[in-house]
Amino acid sequence: MSSSVVLITGAAKRIGAAISRHLHQLGYRLVLHYHTSDTAALALQQELNAIRPHSVHIVRQDLTQLDQLAAMADRVLGCFGQLDGLVNNASSFYPTPLTSSTPMQWHDLMTTNAAAPYFLIQALLPALRQHNVNQQGGAIVNMVDIHAEKGLQHHLLYSMAKNALATLTRGLANELAPDIRVNGVAPGAIIWPAHELTTEQKQQVLASIPMGRLGHAQEIAETVAFLLAGPGYLTGQIIALDGGRSSRGLSEA
C-alpha cells in the first residue's frame, strides 16, 4: 500500500483530517484538497510530511467552479504522477427551511455534494483506470449520509444532494466495473454540526442511536480505508456507519 496515492477532498478539518491522518499512517501518499482552510491544510501537510517526507501535497480549489475541475485534476496528477484512490468527502451542510431557502443555497449544496464529485471523477477517470501498484483497479469512496433517502428535517436541499451522490455511487459501480470499485460511507451523528444545538436536541439525537453515543471520526476513517483497500468484489455498496440509527427508520432529528 505504501506507493498508492489517494486524493481526499475537504481534507483539512474534521472528518477529512481524520481520514487523512489514518490513511497516511497506513502508508498512503496523499493529495489533500481544501478550499478556504489554508492554515489548517498547510499545518496538516507539514505534520504528515514531518512523519514521512514528501508524502503529502495540498491542492486548493473551490469545487463549485465546475469548469475548473479538469484543471484541478491535472494539478492532482502532477503531484505524484498517478492516482489510485479518490475520497469525495468535501461537503456543504447547513439548514435550508423550505420557506426561506434560496437558489444560491441550492447551487452550493448540490454542487459540493453531487456535481463536483461527478465531474471530478470524470476528469480523473483515465488515471483511476490504470492498474495501481498492487495490480488492482482504482477505488472511489463517496461520503454520503444516512438521511440521503428520507431527508433530514430543515435540510432537504442537503439531503437531496446526498441522495444524488448515493445514486452516483451505485450507478458508477455498475458503469466502471471491473476497473474501478465505487462504494460509499453514510455517517450518522459523528461530530456535532457547526451550528449550535440545544442540550435537548443533542439528547434527542443520542436517544435515537442504539449504540447510545456519537460516532468517532476515526471510525469513519477506518471504514474509508477498508473500502479503498477492501475486497476486490465489493462495489456499489453504501455502508451506514451510524450506531444502528438507520435501522430504526428515524430521519427527523
Q: Position of cell 506507493?
A: 3
Is residue 162 predicted with pLDDT exceeding 70?
yes
Q: Which residues of 72-101 are buried (b: 16+ CB within 10 A; e: fewer)?
A: bbeebbebbebbbbbbbbbbbbebbeeeeb
pLDDT at 250 over 60: no
Identify which has the larger pLDDT, 83 or 201: 83
Q: How large is the average pLDDT for residues 134-151?
A: 83
Distance set, CA 209 to CA 62, 176, 206, 213, 215 (Å): 35, 35, 5, 7, 10
| Residue type for position 39 | T
% residues pLDDT > 70 (the chain): 92
Residue 47: what pLDDT?
Answer: 98
Among the listed residues 174, 110, 184, the one whose alpha carbon sits nearest the alpha carbon of residue 140: 184
Catalytic machinery residues: 158
Q: Residue 181: is it exposed, middle or buried by C-beta count within 10 angstroms (0-12/13-18/19+)?
A: buried
Confidence class for position 251, pLDDT limits 50, 70, 90: very low
Rounded CA separation 154/124 (Å): 34
Alpha-carbon gap, residue 154 to 215, rounded angstroms:
22
Q: Which of 213, 218, 208 is nearest to 152 (CA)?
A: 208
Of the candidates 88, 49, 13, 127, the residue with the CA atom closest to the CA atom of residue 238:
88
Residue linked to cell 475537504:
10
Q: State the number of CA atoms in the 13 A half-sphere of 160 facing the CB.
A: 14
Residue pair 151/97 in contact by the 8 Å Cβ criterion: no
Other Cβ atoms closer than 10 A to 225: 21
- The predicted structure's pLDDT at residue 193: 67
CB count in 10 Å sphere of residue 52:
15
List the chain domain ranges.
5-248
Cell numbers of 21, please? 491522518
Can you give the pLDDT at residue 237?
A: 97
Q: Tell me what the mean pLDDT of segment 42-55 comes to.
A: 98
Q: Kindly report the pTM of this predicted structure.
A: 0.91
pLDDT grade for 54, boundaries at 50, 70 and 90: very high
Per the CB < 8 A criterion, the answer to whether 144 and 185 are in contact is yes
* Mean pLDDT, the chain, integer: 91
Q: What is the pLDDT of residue 3?
A: 83
* Overall average pLDDT of the 182-186 stretch: 97
* Contact (Cβ atoms closer than 8 angstroms) between residue 153 and residue 252: yes
Q: Tell me, what's the pLDDT at 246?
A: 77
Looking at the predicted structure, is the pLDDT value of residue 145 above 50?
Answer: yes
| Predicted local confidence at residue 252, as pLDDT | 45
Q: How confident is the model at residue 195 (pLDDT cuts 50, 70, 90)?
A: low
CATH topology classification for 5-248: Rossmann fold (3.40.50)
> Percentage of the chain with pLDDT > 90?
72
With bands split at pLDDT 50, 70 and 90, how would you rate the model's confidence at 136?
A: low
Is pLDDT at 48 greater than 70 in this prediction? yes
User: Per-residue confidence at 230, pLDDT binned at 50, 70, 90?
Assistant: confident
